[in-house]
Structure formats: C-alpha cells, structure tokens
Amino acid sequence: MKKVKAVGIKLMKSQELFDGDVRGVLEVARLCDRLGVDEVHVSDHVLITGPGHRGRDGFPYPIDYSGWYEPFALLSAVATVTERVRLSSHVVVAPLRPAVLLAKEIATLDVLSGGRVDIGLGLGWQREEFAALGVPFEGRLTRLVEQVEACRELWGGAPATYHGSTVSFDEAYSYPAPVQGRELPISFGVPAGPRAFAEIARLGIGYCPAYYVGADLAGDIAAAREAYAAAGRDPQSLKVTSELTMKPDTDADGKVDWDAAFAEAEWIIEAGVDVLLTHIRPHCSTAKEIEPFIERLLSLRE
C-alpha cells in the first residue's frame, strides 16, 4: 500500500468531545504534538448567513455551529501549548482580509510559533459573507494572488513596494518579519482550473483541494503537477493536502466505521495527496478514542 508523506488533524469540532469547551481544542493539539502528527489545521468563516448556508449543498456544519473561532487567534493559542507540530489552515478565506493585515497576522503567528506556520489560503464561496464585510466577491482569485505577492514583498525586507490592482503600497515597513522569511509555505484551496493551476505553479505554492465524493481528485492533482512542470518546476515538489470526508460510514449500531474511513484514506493517497488531513469529529465519539484514531492515521505515513 502507498504511504502518505505527512498527516494532519483538523481541530474543528474537536471541542464537542470536551463538553463544547474550546480548551478541548488545545488538548487535542497537545496530543497531536506529543504523538507526532505533522500538522494541525483550522478553518475559517467570519460569519454564516441563512441564504449562504441554504445555497451550499452538502455543507457539513449546521448554520448555528458555534466553533468558528478566528483562525489566527486560535492558532496563536495552539502555538503556546505545542512545540513541534506545524500550524496550518484548510483554509483561511484570505480575500476577506486586507493584504497587509494578512501579512501581519501570518508573520506574527510564525514568530510566536518559532517558524511553524504552513498556511492554506482559499477564495471563499459565500457571496453574502463578502457583502457583509464590504469586500467584492468577484475577482477573488486576482485578490488572492496579489495578497501572496504583497505578503512576500513585505516579508522580503523593508522598505517594500508593491503595486497591484487590489493592493498598493510604497516604502512600507511591516514587522515582525516571519521566521521563515519571504518563502513561508503557502497553499491554495481554490477550484480546479487552468488559471488557478498556472498561478499555483508561478508562485511556487502548494495545493489543497477540497475532496468530495465524485470529485476527480486524481485528475485535478495531475493537472496541477502538469502546470508545475510547464512552469519549469519539479512537479513532485508540489505539496498537495486533502482530507477525509466529514460524513463517514457507520455500522448498524451507529458507530463510525473506521475501516471504511481508512479505505477512503487509501484512495485519497493513491490519487496523489502528500498530506492526509482529517477531522477528529465525527470519526471519534469520545475523547478516549482520539489517541487510537491518531495512531491508526499515523500508520499510513511513510
């Protein structure tokens, strides 16, 4: 059986195993750090609206889900209780934030964690969320690309100058600078397509597709690697992160079928994923199940 290069745990919903206490998220992060999990991830929404939620078929969170913690604040707390695990996101809705603020947030987290940030940035899908924040919904990919370019200019040393269609500054000084410097690892969670793959390859960043049943995950990954090769980059250097479904199979007693979940994991790995990501909930129904679940997940790693 093919093995994956790294494994990650998505911290979303893990507080449900600790009576809803957000400190349970930190307990899971500590456990991941101790057991040798490579990455811990959070997700992001500033708000969810009724129309947006109703229009998102198959969205795995109820409209009143209370765990939408601000991602950089939560990861900062995680940084203080861990020592080695990488801090990531699948994904931060980057275009909701001004580029220079995003640069500051990522850099601060990288300094606080001692250089452990490996961030995933996405476009977002909820038009109403953008409207509520006064941010244009159209042109999100351009905004995201320019955010990365602007961040790298700010992280590359002061004074920094950048001029794009959505962000512009001259002789800017942005501190602190990230420990990892200008090339701090970034991945894009964006819909598959020629332009998206071309930008991923041009910028030399990773790819974190959202797996869903029926998706051509293997085809999308192959196309992304082809774009890397066309840009003169080593296609195997593209880091691809994807996750197990949040609606796992259950047996006759309603217990999650781990065998089915890990059979799906094998399929995802065969599709070309480098980092296998999964939620703790709903795969675990009690806190006592977390450690054996993680240990089984780690058995899939090289």
Cα distance between residue 82 and residue 25, in whole Å: 12
**Residue 255: per-residue pLDDT:** 84
Pairing of strands 168-172, 206-207: unpaired
**Residue 192: per-residue pLDDT:** 93
Residue 24 main-chain phi, psi, to 5 deg: -65, -30
Largest CA-CA distance found in the chain, in angstroms, rounded: 64
**Residue 254: per-residue pLDDT:** 74
**Residue 206: per-residue pLDDT:** 98
Q: Report cis status (omega within 30 of 0) of the bond before 159.
A: yes
Closest to 207 measured CA to CA, from 185, 234, 238: 238
Closest to 38 measured CA to CA, from 48, 29, 47: 29
- Looking from the CA of 147 toward its CB, the CA atoms found within 13 Å total 27
> Are the C-beta atoms of residues 89 and 120 closer than 8 Å to each other?
yes
Residue 271 main-chain phi, psi, to 5 deg: -70, -15
Cα distance between residue 207 and residue 120, in whole Å: 8
Residues near 76 by beta carbon (within 8 Å), at least 6 away in sequence: 108, 109, 112
Q: What are the pLDDT digits (tens) for 75-130?
A: 999 999 999 999 999 999 999 999 999 999 999 999 999 999 999 999 999 999 99
Q: What are the pLDDT digits (tens) for 56-80?
A: 988 889 999 999 999 999 999 999 9
Q: What is the pTM of this model?
A: 0.96
- For 240, which DSSP code? B
**Residue 210: per-residue pLDDT:** 77
> Are the C-beta atoms of residues 192 and 240 closer than 8 Å to each other?
no
Cα distance between residue 39 and residue 6, in whole Å: 8
Question: Domains (ranges, CATH) in the chain?
Answer: 6-93+105-124+181-298 (3.20.20.30)
Residue 59 in tokens: 């969205």
Residues near 242 by beta carbon (within 8 Å), at least 6 away in sequence: 208, 209, 210, 211, 217, 268, 271, 273, 275, 276, 277
Residue 12 in tokens: 């979303």
**Residue 212: per-residue pLDDT:** 58
Closest to 259 measured CA to CA, from 244, 272, 276: 244
Report the Cα–Cα distance between both ends of the chain, in Å, rounded: 11
Residues of the chain with pLDDT under 70: 211-214
